[in-house]
């Protein structure tokens, strides 16, 4: 079968404390309950791909030899992800410290640990892989090397450029799809003034998608724009929304969905993820996403679409 997705990236154990608000610099906030959740953008996105079904999902990741690694492996395997683990004694498994506020905002500090040790030579053979999904929680040279190797092997390369940083040209040139949120788009296109649509046009990647939280998402593929207003939900934890969107989008594309349909599927998965706690535990399965989409079709929200178009600077264009 040649439609496997390979996710290469980070896995972190998330230490989550709920609090009334996210602390300002220098402030101490007394939080409430504490819990650990499997996380890391790479692992979250691998779980989202696997739960979306339809293709084999594999993940390349680096873990320490410590108790933090076990829950990460268990969560990935539990979702059906096949693992290529680089095991190290040099440093701890990646961890993330998350303050989750009552208004669903969050503040996150990541200690990359083993994730920082992923190297170009760790990339497994790409036979049977149709899509490679990357993020930026592993070293940028490694990410670039993986993208270049995959591009040369005819694999579709999808990058979620998070956390935000400027991208080397060699990486941008190797991408088929770039997915960013608004802050990440601003970082990648620094110096460029103008609306979202102009920023998307400025990037030379064949397909660029910007996710806009509760507003929805906007994509530019070649010269054409596609808008997707967000589904209406009551969010409790937005931590995994972007990762769920990226994994669900890649899985849908891998199964042959066209861009509008993959955007709709990913938006529904992202919206559902915000209604549940935890980055991986919150990822919905394909049948839940389909059921949710069917229930939503009655609410054709023209106003939301118009507002999204205006926000992106597309009010006068046909989309």
Closer by beta carbon to ligand ADP, 211 or else 280? 211
At residue 100, the 3 state secondary structure works out as: strand
The catalytic position among 14, 176, 237, 243 is 243
Burial 137-158 (b: 16+ CB within 10 A, else e): bbbeebbbbbbbbbbeeebbbb
Min dist. Cβ of residue 104 to ligand ADP (A): 8
Residue 4 and residue 128 in contact, taking contact as beta carbons nearer than 8 Å: yes
Instruction: Clarify whether 243 is annotated catalytic.
Output: yes
In whole angstroms, give the CA distance from residue 44 to residue 116.
Answer: 17
Residue 71 and residue 267 in contact, taking contact as beta carbons nearer than 8 Å: no
Closer by beta carbon to ligand ADP, 301 or else 315? 301
Closer by beta carbon to ligand ADP, 90 or else 102? 102
Residue 310 has φ and ψ, to the nearest 5°, of: -65, -45
State the residues that interact with ligand ADP by CB under 6 A: 162, 181, 211-214, 216-217, 230-231, 233, 235, 238, 241-242, 245, 267, 270-271, 274
Min dist. Cβ of residue 253 to ligand ADP (A): 16
Closer by beta carbon to ligand ADP, 58 or else 215? 215
Min dist. Cβ of residue 63 to ligand ADP (A): 24
Min dist. Cβ of residue 242 to ligand ADP (A): 2
In whole angstroms, give the CA distance from residue 300 to residue 280.
Answer: 29
Q: Largest alpha-carbon pair distance within the chain?
A: 57
Q: In what order do the strands lie in the sheet with 207-211?
A: 82-88, 57-64, 4-8, 129-134, 156-160, 177-181, 207-211, 216-221, 224-229
- Give the residue numbers annotated as catalytic, written as ranges: 243
């Amino acid at each position: 079968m040649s439609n496997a997705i390979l996710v290469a990236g980070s896995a972190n154990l998330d230490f989550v404390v709920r609090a009334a608000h996210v602390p300002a610099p220098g402030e101490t906030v007394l939080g409430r309950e504490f819990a650990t959740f499997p996380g890391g953008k790479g692992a979250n996105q691998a779980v989202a791909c696997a739960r979306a079904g339809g293709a084999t999902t594999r993940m390349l990741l680096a873990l320490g030899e410590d108790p933090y690694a076990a829950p990460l492996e268990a969560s990935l395997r539990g979702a059906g992800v096949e693992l290529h683990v680089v095991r190290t004694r040099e440093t701890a498994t990646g961890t993330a410290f998350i303050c989750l506020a009552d208004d669903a905002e969050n503040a996150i500090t990541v200690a990359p640990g083993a994730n920082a040790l992923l190297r170009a030579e760790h990339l497994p053979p790409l036979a049977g892989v149709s899509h490679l999904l990357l993020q930026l929680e592993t070293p940028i040279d490694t990410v670039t090397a993986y993208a270049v190797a995959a591009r040369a092997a005819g694999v579709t390369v999808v990058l979620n450029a998070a956390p935000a940083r400027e991208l080397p040209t060699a990486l941008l040139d190797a991408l088929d799809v770039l997915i960013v949120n608004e802050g990440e788009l601003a970082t990648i296109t620094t110096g460029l003034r103008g609306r979202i649509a102009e920023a998307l046009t400025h990037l030379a990647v064949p397909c660029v998608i910007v996710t806009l939280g509760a507003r929805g998402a906007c994509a530019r593929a070649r010269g054409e724009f596609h808008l997707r207003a967000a589904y209406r939900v009551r969010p409790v934890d937005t931590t995994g929304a972007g990762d769920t969107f990226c994994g669900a989008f890649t899985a849908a594309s891998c199964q042959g969905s066209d861009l509008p349909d993959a955007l709709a599927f990913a938006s529904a998965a992202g919206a559902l993820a915000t209604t549940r706690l935890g980055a991986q535990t919150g990822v919905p399965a394909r049948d839940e996403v389909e059921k949710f989409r069917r229930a939503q079709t009655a609410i054709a929200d023209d106003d939301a679409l118009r507002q999204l178009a205006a926000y992106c600077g597309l009010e006068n264009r046909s989309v």
